[in-house]
């Protein structure tokens, strides 16, 4: 055994003998002192345990918040879908109310119809409506909206009818110009899908000198279209070799047809 180890053993023996010489009261005091020295460490450990518990509780709260966030997102999507459905219903109700009001105040006898088909290859030529012979619809009958003239029926079956639009070059409409004695024939121009159609008012006099904004109505000549239906609005006028010609913007937005009316006569 080395000298250093021997000295350490003697010191330990002396300390042990010193402690063994304590009576019960001295031993309790010694323990109390030791506990007093270790108390800060125990307190620190307790605080650390509390902090760990608090962190674990916070982590549970984050998980709960994440679940609540997911639930709110699902609820928000459901509310958005419901809101959109309500807007669609409101649009439909307003559209039908508007159409009903027009039918009531119109000077014409009208049969309400809905556009049910439209071919992209004939977008500016024809549409199909859900009314036919059993509803009182006949060929060569005017079709309108509250904004003006749409076209005329051509092929009519028992339950559906094909409508030739005024934007088609084969649809001819006898028309007169508001605020003048000018009369002519309106026909459509051949256009490609995606372009807004333009109507031509032909056979005007060279002195017509029509101004942009003048309205053009059906004149009633020819027997197909009754007089007084708005056809379009003048955009420009030019003099040709034999006559004058005006270009018109259709009164009806032919790209968005939903509800129309078939004119069966005057009230």
Give a yes or no: residue 200 inside a domain: yes
Same domain, 122 and 44: no
Above pLDDT 70, what percent of the chain?
76
Residues belonging to the chain: 267
Cβ–Cβ contacts within 10 Å for residue 188, how many? 25
Task: Identify the residue whose tokens are 């197909």.
Answer: 224
Same domain, 151 and 253: yes
Answer with the one of 55, 73, 95 that is the final residue of a domain.
55
> Is pLDDT larger for residue 22 or for residue 179?
179
Same domain, 145 and 244: yes
Same domain, 126 and 258: yes
Give a yes or no: residue 70 inside a domain: no
Same domain, 123 and 233: yes
Give a yes or no: residue 175 inside a domain: yes
Give a yes or no: residue 82 inside a domain: no
Q: Quick check: 33 pLDDT over 70?
A: no
d(CA 164, CA 85): 33
pLDDT digits (tens, 9 = 90+) for 73-102: 888 888 888 888 888 788 777 777 877 788
Give a yes or no: residue 96 inside a domain: no
Same domain, 123 and 34: no
Total number of domains constituting the chain: 2
Same domain, 131 and 25: no
Same domain, 123 and 224: yes
Is residue 206 within 8 A of residue 243, CB to CB? The reply is yes
Cβ–Cβ contacts within 10 Å for residue 155, how many? 13
- CATH of residue 180: 2.40.10.340
Is residue 124 within 8 A of residue 169, CB to CB? The reply is no
Which domain does 10 fall in, by range?
3-55
Give a yes or no: residue 87 inside a domain: no
pLDDT at 239 (0 to 100): 93
Give a yes or no: residue 78 inside a domain: no
Give a yes or no: residue 93 inside a domain: no
Same domain, 50 and 115: no
> Is pLDDT larger for residue 233 or for residue 34?
233
Above pLDDT 90, what percent of the chain?
49
pLDDT digits (tens, 9 = 90+) for 144-200: 999 999 999 999 999 999 999 999 999 999 999 999 999 999 999 876 555 678 999
d(CA 164, CA 124): 9
Same domain, 131 and 41: no
């Amino acid at each position: 055994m080395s000298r250093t180890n021997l000295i350490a053993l003697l010191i330990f023996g002396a300390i042990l003998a010193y402690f063994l010489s304590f009576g019960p009261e001295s031993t309790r005091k010694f323990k109390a002192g030791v506990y007093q020295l270790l108390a800060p460490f125990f307190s620190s450990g307790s605080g650390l345990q509390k902090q760990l518990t608090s962190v674990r509780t916070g982590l549970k709260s984050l998980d709960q918040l994440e679940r609540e966030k997911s639930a709110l997102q699902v609820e928000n999507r459901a509310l958005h879908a419901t809101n959109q459905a309500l807007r669609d219903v409101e649009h439909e109700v307003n559209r039908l109310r508007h159409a009903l009001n027009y039918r009531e105040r119109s000077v014409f006898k009208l049969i309400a119809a809905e556009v049910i088909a439209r071919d992209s290859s004939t977008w500016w030529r024809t549409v199909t409506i859900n009314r036919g012979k059993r509803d009182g619809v006949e060929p060569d009958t005017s079709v309108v909206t509250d904004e003006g003239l749409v076209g005329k029926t051509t092929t009519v079956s028992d339950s559906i009818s094909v409508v030739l639009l005024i934007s088609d070059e084969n649809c001819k409409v006898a028309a007169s110009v508001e605020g003048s004695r000018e009369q002519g024939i309106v026909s459509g121009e051949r256009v490609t899908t995606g372009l807004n159609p333009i109507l031509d008012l032909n056979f005007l006099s060279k002195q017509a000198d029509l101004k942009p904004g003048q309205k053009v109505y059906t004149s009633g000549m020819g027997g197909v279209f009754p007089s007084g239906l708005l056809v379009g609005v003048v955009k420009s006028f030019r003099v040709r070799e034999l006559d004058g010609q005006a270009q018109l913007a259709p009164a009806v937005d032919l790209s968005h047809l939903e509800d129309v009316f078939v004119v069966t006569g005057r009230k």
